[in-house]
Amino acid sequence: MADNLQETYDQIPYGSEPISGTHPGHIAAIGTLLGLTPPDPSCARILELGCAHGDNILGIATMFPRSNCTGVDISPRQIERGHALATRASLSNVSLQTMSILDITPEFGTFDYIIAHGVFSWVPRQVQDKILEICASNLSSHGLCFISYNTLPGWHVRGFIREMMLFHTRTFPDPTLRAARAREVLEFMGSSLKSDTPFGALLQDELKHPRAMPDWYLAHDFMEEFNLPEYFHSFMERCGAQGLQYVGDSEVPLMFPHEFSPAVKQNITRMSTSLLAREQYTDFLRNRMFRRSILCHSDELIRSSFDSNTIRNLFVASPLAAAPAGNAEPCAFKHPNGGGLRAPNAMLAAAATHLGARWPASIHYPELAALVSASLVQVERDIVEKSLCEGVHTCFAAGLMQLSVGPSPFSTAVSEKPLASPLARAQAEEGLKVGTLQHESCSLDTSEVNILKLLDGTLSISDIAARLTKSPEEVSRTVTKFARTALLRH
Ligand SMILES: C[S@@+](CC[C@H](N)C(=O)[O-])C[C@H]1O[C@@H](n2cnc3c(N)ncnc32)[C@H](O)[C@@H]1O
């Protein structure tokens, strides 16, 4: 079984990229808010299972040069490409190994963070059980795991798209041709039914996602031999049997039933005998199809809700920007994700202004409180200290602010001889997509890539301009953009 998977990923490699939800600084902040004491990610031992080319674990190793990172994948072709990238980026704190998850034993060592993104649902049950066993046996005592997986009931709906693709390609054994063939059935269904019936509307909505995705995604995420979605409660029962417990969701806003009316929220609480049951009822209501769960050892004591006081030790970042004057929108501050702060109190408005000005860099909470105090002279410093935590907590829960346990590993200032992320420079040798030091994926154009490749800390803006026969102003504009995209190092 596992050999089959090795072949399919060797034939059609997966387009791996940094997955922001797996950022150990973010996962550790969630653990800290829930009363845990996760290890410092900047010097942690971090393991990724099913890392494909390794862009995610290589990104983590780049952000945390004192960490010790390991990526494991069964596909030699993918790991080879990862090795080449790590060598080109001169990363000495990461090891990528071609091996099966099934061969990992307790002797492989303990890790403070174990990540399995996009693997669990696409491997046979035996490998799934082994992933949970590794998360229990190879996790340090205060460590955290991240496992993402397809969930029911959402995949009952998405599953029929998979099934029609599998039917339409049943006589096409060549996996490199199957994705193109599968697109035919997506187009056939999409052009045959309009959204004017309940089924037509559901179908049109479901088709949007696969139609927009590349062939490698259709080949694996939709048509891989194994695709085993599971209810959250059933996944958690299996985790419990291995000695693991639920901490929270890496997609923080989904931990709160924000979108439901007070009556619905009350009913969820009334019907739920536990946090896990509450999460399950919420999944039913959301028809949820994917989860990014954070887990830890069962003997750790976890708070039932976030302790906003712990924010005092954390770093806060946010791209919130003041809405333009005269804007018809009722938001005072807008977030690029479409959300916003409608009527923030003066304290939160001051915090949003300072954070927006520093974005993408984070501000340590004590410094943020001092900045807010300084701009609101009429409010006592200890009142700011106390109530700002609540405001930041509310914004974090709504996805408007980010929290991390450490400072941003990048510079937002352009130095005389700018130095870009070594991984991004190595990725730029291969194409137009690079990973940022915020652990996001970023697309560049050819001119930007040519400039990025030269940012090795030895050349000034005018040196680069002369090499590329561009104006220093153009190079400077691009490098300033890189600074705002978290691509430059200190
Ligand atoms: C859907 S891809 C996800 C890749 C990556 N984690 C991501 O999310 O971008 C699943 C990966 O798991 C790997 N895989 C499957 N079975 C495995 C096994 N038994 N041991 C190690 N890796 C495995 C595949 O080779 C593939 O790279």
What is the average pLDDT across 11-28?
95
Nearest to 452 by CA among 425, 429, 473: 425
pLDDT at 3 over 70: no
pLDDT band at residue 376 using 50, 70 and 90 as cut-offs: confident
Residues 6+ apart with CB under 8 A from 264: 257, 285
Q: Which residues pair with 293 in a beta bridge?
A: 147, 249
- Residues 484 and 478: their CA atoms lie apart, in Å, by 10
Tokens of 466: 């002369």
Tell me, in angstroms, the distance from the centre of ligand 1 to residue 72's CA.
8
225: left (phi over 0), alpha (psi -120 to 50) or beta: alpha
What is the spatial distance between Cα 127 and Cα 101, in angstroms, rounded to a whole number?
Answer: 7
Contact 13, 58 (CB under 8 A): no
Residue 52 CA to ligand 1 center (angstroms) comes to 6
- Supply the pLDDT for residue 287: 97
Q: Report the percentage of the chain scoring pLDDT > 70.
A: 98
- Within 13 Å of residue 3, how many CA atoms lie on the same side as its CB? 0
* Position 328 pLDDT exceeds 70: no
Q: Give how far the C-alpha of residue 350 lies from the chain's centroid of Cα atoms, to the nearest Å.
A: 28
Q: What are phi and psi of 86, to 5 degrees?
A: -65, -40
Residue 455 has pLDDT above 80, yes or no: yes
Query: Under a CB-based contact definition with an 8 Å cutoff, are residues 218 and 210 in contact?
Result: yes
Q: For 23-43, what is each residue's pLDDT tens digit?
A: 999 999 999 999 999 999 999
**DSSP code of 89?**
T
Q: Is the CB of 372 under 6 A from ligand 1?
A: no
Q: Which of 239, 306, 304 is nearest to 275 (CA)?
A: 304
Average pLDDT on 246-263 reads 97
The response to whether residue 78 sits with its C-beta less than 6 Å from ligand 1 reads yes
Closest residue by CA, ligand 1 atom 17: 74
HSE-CB at 158 with a 13 A cutoff on CA atoms is 22
Ligand 1 close to Cβ of residue 2 (< 6 A):
yes
Residue 146 CB–ligand 1 contact under 6 Å: no
For tokens 């990104």, the residue is 59
Whether 118 is in the pocket of ligand 1, judged by its Cβ within 6 Å, is yes
Ligand 1 centre and the CA of 88: distance in Å? 23
Residue 59 scores a pLDDT above 70: yes
- Residue 50 Cα to ligand 1 middle (Å): 3
Structure confidence at residue 111 as a pLDDT band (50, 70, 90): very high
pLDDT band at 309 (very low <50, low <70, confident <90, very high): very high
Work out the pLDDT band at 329, boundaries 50, 70, 90: low
State whether the Cα torsion 362-363-365-368 is positive or negative.
negative
Atom of ligand 1 nearest to the CA of 55: 9
The angle formed by the CA atoms of residues 490, 444 and 415, to the nearest 5 degrees, is 25
**Ligand 1 pocket test, candidate residues 19, 101, 119, 148, most atoms within 8 A of CB:** 119
Q: Which pLDDT value is given to residue 169? A: 96
- Give the Å distance between the CA of 205 and the centre of ligand 1: 28
CA of 123 to the centre of ligand 1 (A): 8
When pLDDT is cut at 50, 70 and 90, the band that residue 4 belongs to is: confident
Residue 140 above 90 pLDDT? Answer: yes
SS3 helix, strand, coil % of the chain, rounded to 5?
50, 15, 35
**Ligand 1 centroid, distance to 216 Cα (angstroms):** 13
Residue 237 is predicted with a pLDDT of: 98
Inform me whether the pLDDT recorded for 10 exceeds 60.
yes
Choosing from 1, 4, 5 the residue with most ligand 1 atoms within 8 A of its CB, the one to mutate for a pocket test is 5
CA 370 to the chain's CA centroid: 30
Distance, CA 433 to ligand 1 centroid (Å)?
21
Residue 327 has pLDDT above 70, yes or no: no
Instruction: For residues 288 and 154, give the distance between their C-alpha atoms in angstroms, rounded to a whole number.
Output: 5
Query: Residue 148: which H helix or E strand, with range?
Result: strand 139-152
**Mean of pLDDT values over 468-483:** 97
**Ligand 1 midpoint to CA 220 (Å):** 10
Instruction: Determine which of 78-87, 339-348, 427-436 has the lowest per-residue pLDDT on average.
Output: 339-348
What phi and psi values does residue 250 have, to the nearest 5 degrees?
-65, -25
Give residue 1's pLDDT.
44
Query: Which residue of 4, 11, 14 sits with most ligand 1 atoms within 8 Å of its CB, as the best mutation to test the pocket?
Result: 14
pLDDT of residue 330: 59
Question: For ligand 1, atom 3, which residue shows the shortest CA distance?
Answer: 118
As a whole number of angstroms, the distance between CA 87 and CA 6 comes to 23
Looking at the structure, give the CATH architecture of the domain made up of residues 2-153+228-297. Answer: 3-Layer(aba) Sandwich (3.40)
121: left (phi over 0), alpha (psi -120 to 50) or beta: alpha
* C-beta neighbour count of 351 within 10 angstroms: 30
Q: Could you report the per-residue pLDDT of 439-452, keeping only the tens digit for each?
A: 999 999 999 999 99
Q: Is the pLDDT score of 378 beyond 80?
A: no
Q: What is the distance between the alpha carbons of residues 392 and 440, in angstroms, rounded to a whole number?
A: 22
Q: Residue 488's CB: how many other CB atoms inside 10 A?
A: 26
Q: Which of 487, 480, 478, 472 is nearest to 450 (CA)?
A: 478
| CA-to-CA separations, 169 to 166, 212, 405, 413, in angstroms, rounded | 5, 19, 47, 52
- Residue 3 neighbours by CB under 8 Å, 6+ apart: none
Per-residue pLDDT reduced to its tens digit, 151-201: 999 999 999 999 999 999 999 888 888 999 999 999 999 999 999 999 999
The verdict on the CB of residue 22 being under 6 Å from ligand 1 is no
The answer as to CATH 3.20.20 being correct for domain 422-484 is no
Please state the rounded mean pLDDT for residues 291-311: 96
Q: Nearest C-alpha to atom 14 of ligand 1 is from which residue?
A: 50
